[in-house]
């Protein structure tokens, strides 16, 4: 039996080595199943999604459309116009579908001011995603007269630029997250070796989680985007490092009380694992609520992120302790914990904070709530949804080209809308569309399989309230003629995204609150404590969102908030914010059973303060690494979660929650009371209080 116990760490390491080796080929395939198309994000009930499906029944099929814009400030010359015609003929011959005319009847439209022109070319989806051939496409239009500015834009150009921005994003984020975590761990542990172990274990968890995600996509057809893949990496690194900090803190403490590392790790594992598992269960409960989302991108994130949490949990409760045990005490060099060491001082920063909160309970609670309330005032900052053209930090060619169209074509706002209806209602549909306010032009329709398709050009600029109103009006008028008529295209997709995201927000936020509350209730065996904790993290989220909304709009000058930001920000801040309160309150319940609620809460704050703060800083820094990416959504989500985690760690968990628990006293545990699990003295009574114990 003793030999089996001694061999267990080696068995764990060998199993994980085999698991990672088997997962690497599957993880490498994940890029091949990712999709960043707006339509793939939307539910099947959205009109723009249905248009994409109906296009496959038409002669042209579901093609990618590219708009080529030509501009010369002094006015287009005849050579410029001939170049536009030559480009279109070459693009049709090289990229088009044989026998199918190009969109817009192959015309070259000239602007009223004579300084610009545009034409439209299409590429069948069978050729692949736009990023795979965009360089060849742009090479065709690079042959042009001196002084003629040419931009490739439209749905195909924008999707190609999105894919280009996302190219290599996983590797970039992986490096950024690893560097950030490594720096913080080095500063925390001050050891040349110990910081590396959590990173290696987290890396193993990343590989396994990516392989698991690939298998989920293949088995269930989930939508996985580059954004979701990036979030997976951040979650694994963030929560894995948090779990490592908690386990190491307890392990270090037990090494001062036990001579053999295996015994010390066994005790540390038994005392830490339940809280760590409960933390993971809370996050997973929130994540699985995303299965109820309408947005495919949110629905897919739930299982994907759950895989990330489970892999991180498994790695840090099996592989990580196995490596620590084999390395023994030298892993902590030069600050090696010895059997019988007293440990850090019994009176530290967290002792002072605990004393202050205990003596000034009402001011601590009132002051915290007042500060959070002031922060929440930032929610009054006027802000709209983030437009598609504003999602890039550095404006790519497709966006700058799209903005040239309304500048030179006053009657054209931007990208065309696609209308598909029954062929026998075609004339009436076109008449209804022409009579809709905001409509500028209508192209000739194509007919096939009993359907008619035509494009509608609007006057208003893309992704503006005026354009969205025109799309809604167009859909209403067409439905009166043909209830099966559908309106799609890029702007319609963005409108459907805003509407679906708002509906998910109203549905998912209450569901997340309910799920997390139930898990907390089961964990703490209380009704009052979960309600208190949930209330504090909701207030904390409102404060964080208020501050960051003001920062995004008034300081950074960002053009809007991503439609899914509030839902995802709420999910991560509630689930992850509750995590730290779980670590605090499970220890408080343990201590309260031995010394009473007041002393137990203070003892829990003192013993968990250092390690939870370190964990919060690591998680915040990990999410903050997302701000290095060139996408506004990733910057917004990363900064919001990073600030919210710090706010929850430094203010809510440190002052507000302990203050409320002290004010409520034993009522915080209603309807049950903490019961001592043994007659042994409190752990804090039999060893020096320090800030590193969970």
Residue for token pair 């704050």: 605
Beta bridge partners of 64: 123
CB 508 within 8 A of CB 290: yes
Please tell me the predicted confidence (pLDDT) of residue 152. Answer: 94
Provide the 10 A C-beta neighbour count for residue 492.
Answer: 28
Give a yes or no: residue 177 inside a domain.
yes
Give a yes or no: residue 43 inside a domain.
no
Give a yes or no: residue 308 inside a domain.
yes
pLDDT in tens, 3-52: 666 788 899 999 999 999 999 999 999 988 887 676 777 887 899 989 98
pLDDT band for 315, please (50, 70, 90 cuts): very high
DSSP 345-369: -SS-HHHHHHHHHHHSHHHHHHHHH
Mean pLDDT is lowest, of 31-40, 73-82, 643-652, for: 31-40
pLDDT band for 678, please (50, 70, 90 cuts): very low
Enter the DSSP assignment of 392. Answer: B
Rounded Cα distance, 320 and 528, in Å = 35
Q: Does 337 lie in the same domain as 236?
A: yes
Domain boundary among 136, 166, 196: 166
Q: Does 325 lie in the same domain as 254?
A: yes
pLDDT in tens, 549-558: 999 999 988 8
Q: Does 363 lie in the same domain as 302?
A: no
Question: Is the confidence at residue 187, as pLDDT, over 90?
Answer: no
Please tell me the predicted confidence (pLDDT) of residue 658. Answer: 93
Q: Does 158 lie in the same domain as 190?
A: no
Domain boundary among 140, 166, 192: 166
Domain containing 459: what range? 397-495
Which backbone phi and psi does 676 adopt, to 5 degrees?
Answer: -60, 135
Mean pLDDT is lowest, of 20-34, 153-167, 311-325, 340-354, for: 340-354
Please tell me the predicted confidence (pLDDT) of residue 630. Answer: 84
Helix (H) or strand (E) holding 137: helix 134-141
- Percent above pLDDT 70 for the chain: 94
Buried b or exposed e, range 581-618, using 16+ CB within 10 angstroms: bbbbbbbbbbbbbbbebebbbbbbbbbbbbbbbbbbbb
Rounded Cα distance, 668 and 566, in Å = 30
Give a yes or no: residue 106 inside a domain.
yes
Q: Does 665 lie in the same domain as 574?
A: yes
Please tell me the predicted confidence (pLDDT) of residue 138. Answer: 92
Average pLDDT over every residue of 520-544: 90
Which backbone phi and psi does 302 adopt, to 5 degrees?
Answer: -55, -60
Rounded Cα distance, 591 and 674, in Å = 9
pLDDT band for 387, please (50, 70, 90 cuts): confident
pLDDT band for 686, please (50, 70, 90 cuts): very low
Q: Does 545 lie in the same domain as 657?
A: yes
Rounded Cα distance, 67 and 122, in Å = 9
Residues in contact with 237: Cβ distance below 8 Å, sequence separation at least 6, in sequence order: 177, 178, 181, 202, 206, 622
Q: Does 647 lie in the same domain as 570?
A: yes
Q: Does 192 lie in the same domain as 283?
A: yes
- Give me the long-range contacts of 134-141 (CB less than 8 A, separation at least 24): 134/160, 134/161, 134/164, 136/94, 137/66, 137/91, 137/95, 138/397, 140/87, 140/90, 140/91, 140/94, 141/68, 141/87, 141/91
Closest CA to 620 of 592, 640, 599, 594: 640
Domain boundary among 326, 341, 356: 341
The mean of the pLDDT values for the chain is: 87
Give a yes or no: residue 200 inside a domain.
yes
Closest CA to 409 of 79, 110, 669: 110
CB 405 within 8 A of CB 647: no
Give a yes or no: residue 292 inside a domain.
yes
Q: Quick one: tokens of 276?
A: 């760590």
Number of domains present in the structure of the chain? 4
Q: Does 369 lie in the same domain as 323?
A: no
Give a yes or no: residue 259 inside a domain.
yes
Please tell me the predicted confidence (pLDDT) of residue 347. Answer: 56
Q: Does 417 lie in the same domain as 310?
A: no
pLDDT in tens, 198-208: 999 999 999 99
CATH of the domain at 142: 3.30.70.1440
Please tell me the predicted confidence (pLDDT) of residue 596. Answer: 85
pLDDT in tens, 421-431: 999 999 999 99
Q: Quick one: tokens of 343?
A: 């440990």
Q: Quick one: tokens of 643?
A: 């600030």
pLDDT band for 350, please (50, 70, 90 cuts): confident
Please tell me the predicted confidence (pLDDT) of residue 25. Answer: 95
CA 462 to chain centre: 25
Q: Does 532 lie in the same domain as 406?
A: no
Closest CA to 579 of 484, 644, 627: 644
Provide the 10 A C-beta neighbour count for residue 407.
Answer: 14
Rounded Cα distance, 111 and 100, in Å = 26
Which backbone phi and psi does 381 adopt, to 5 degrees?
Answer: -65, 125
CATH of the domain at 285: 1.20.1640.10
Please tell me the predicted confidence (pLDDT) of residue 38. Answer: 67
Please tell me the predicted confidence (pLDDT) of residue 689. Answer: 37
Please tell me the predicted confidence (pLDDT) of residue 326. Answer: 92
CB 209 within 8 A of CB 217: no
pLDDT in tens, 228-246: 888 899 899 889 998 998 8
Question: Is the confidence at residue 344, as pLDDT, over 80?
Answer: no
Give a yes or no: residue 405 inside a domain.
yes
Give the CA distances from residue 624 to residues 376, 621, 636, 640, in Å, rounded to whole numbers and listed in that order.
21, 5, 10, 9
pLDDT in tens, 93-143: 898 877 777 776 678 889 999 999 999 888 888 888 888 899 999 999 999
CB 152 within 8 A of CB 209: no
Burial class (CB in 10 A: 0-12, 13-18, 19+), 291: middle
Please tell me the predicted confidence (pLDDT) of residue 504. Answer: 93
pLDDT in tens, 448-498: 889 998 889 898 888 888 899 999 999 999 999 999 999 998 889 889 999
Beta bridge partners of 422: 451
Please tell me the predicted confidence (pLDDT) of residue 680. Answer: 40
Q: Does 266 lie in the same domain as 149?
A: no
């Amino acid at each position: 039996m003793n030999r089996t116990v001694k061999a267990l760490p080696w068995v764990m390491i060998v199993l994980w080595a085999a698991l990672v080796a088997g997962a690497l080929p599957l993880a490498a395939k994940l890029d091949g199943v990712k999709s960043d198309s707006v339509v793939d994000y939307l539910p099947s009930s959205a009109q723009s999604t249905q248009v994409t499906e109906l296009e496959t029944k038409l002669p042209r099929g579901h093609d990618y459309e590219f708009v080529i814009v030509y501009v010369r400030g002094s006015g287009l010359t005849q050579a410029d116009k001939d170049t536009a015609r030559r480009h279109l003929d070459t693009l049709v011959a090289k990229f088009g579908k044989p026998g199918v005319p190009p969109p817009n009847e192959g015309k070259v439209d000239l602007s009223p001011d004579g300084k610009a022109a545009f034409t439209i070319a299409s590429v069948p989806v069978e050729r692949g995603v736009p990023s795979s051939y965009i360089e060849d496409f742009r090479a065709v239009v690079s042959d042009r007269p001196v002084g003629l500015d040419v931009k490739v834009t439209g749905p195909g150009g924008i999707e190609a630029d999105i894919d280009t921005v996302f190219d290599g994003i996983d590797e970039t984020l992986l490096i950024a997250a690893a560097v950030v975590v490594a720096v913080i761990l080095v500063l925390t542990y001050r050891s040349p070796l110990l910081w590396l172990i959590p990173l290696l274990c987290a890396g193993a968890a990343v590989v396994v989680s990516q392989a698991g995600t690939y298998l989920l996509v293949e088995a269930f057809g989930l939508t996985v985007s580059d954004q979701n893949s990036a979030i997976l990496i951040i979650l694994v690194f963030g929560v894995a490092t948090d779990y490592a900090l908690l386990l190491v803190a307890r392990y270090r403490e037990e090494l001062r009380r036990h001579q053999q590392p295996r015994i010390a790790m066994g005790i540390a594992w038994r005392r830490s694992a339940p809280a760590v598992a409960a933390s993971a269960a809370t996050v997973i409960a929130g994540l699985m609520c995303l299965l109820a989302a309408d947005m495919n991108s949110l629905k897919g994130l739930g299982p994907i992120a759950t895989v990330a949490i489970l892999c991180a949990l498994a790695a840090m409760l099996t592989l990580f302790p196995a490596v620590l045990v084999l390395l023994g005490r030298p892993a902590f060099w030069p600050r090696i914990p010895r059997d019988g060491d007293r440990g850090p001082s019994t009176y530290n920063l967290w002792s002072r904070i605990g004393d202050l909160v205990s003596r000034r309970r009402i001011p601590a609670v009132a002051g915290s709530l007042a500060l959070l309330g002031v922060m929440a005032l930032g929610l009054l900052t006027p802000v709209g949804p983030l437009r598609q053209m504003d999602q890039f930090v550095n404006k790519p060619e497709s966006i700058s080209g799209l903005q040239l169209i309304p500048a030179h074509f006053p009657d054209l706002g931007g990208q065309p809308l696609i209308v598909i209806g029954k062929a026998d209602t075609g004339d009436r549909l076109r008449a209804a569309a022409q009579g809709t306010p905001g409509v500028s032009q209508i192209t000739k329709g194509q007919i096939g399989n009993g359907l008619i398709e035509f494009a509608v050009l609007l006057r208003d600029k893309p992704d503006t309230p005026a354009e969205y109103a025109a799309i809604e009006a167009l859909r209403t008028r067409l439905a009166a003629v043909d209830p099966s008529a559908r309106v799609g295209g890029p702007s319609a997709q963005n409108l459907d995204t805003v509407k679906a995201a708002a509906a998910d927000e109203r549905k998912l936020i209450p569901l997340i609150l309910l799920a997390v509350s139930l898990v907390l209730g089961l964990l703490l065996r209380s009704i009052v404590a979960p309600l208190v904790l949930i209330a504090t993290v909701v207030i904390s989220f409102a404060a964080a969102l208020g501050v960051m909304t003001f920062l995004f709009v008034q300081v950074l000058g960002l053009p809007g908030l991503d439609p899914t930001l509030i839902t995802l920000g709420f999910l991560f801040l509630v689930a992850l914010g509750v995590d730290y309160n779980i670590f605090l309150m499970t220890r408080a319940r343990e201590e309260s059973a031995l010394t009473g609620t007041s002393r137990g809460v203070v003892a829990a704050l003192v013993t968990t303060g250092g390690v939870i703060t370190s964990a919060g800083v690591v998680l915040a820094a990990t999410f903050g690494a997302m701000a290095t990416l060139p996408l506004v959504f990733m910057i917004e989500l990363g900064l919001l979660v990073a600030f919210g985690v710090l706010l929850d760690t430094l203010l809510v968990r440190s002052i507000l929650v302990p203050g409320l628990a002290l004010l409520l006293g034993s009522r915080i545990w209603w309807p049950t009371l903490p019961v001592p699990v043994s007659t042994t003295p409190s752990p804090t009574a039999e060893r020096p209080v320090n800030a590193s114990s969970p």
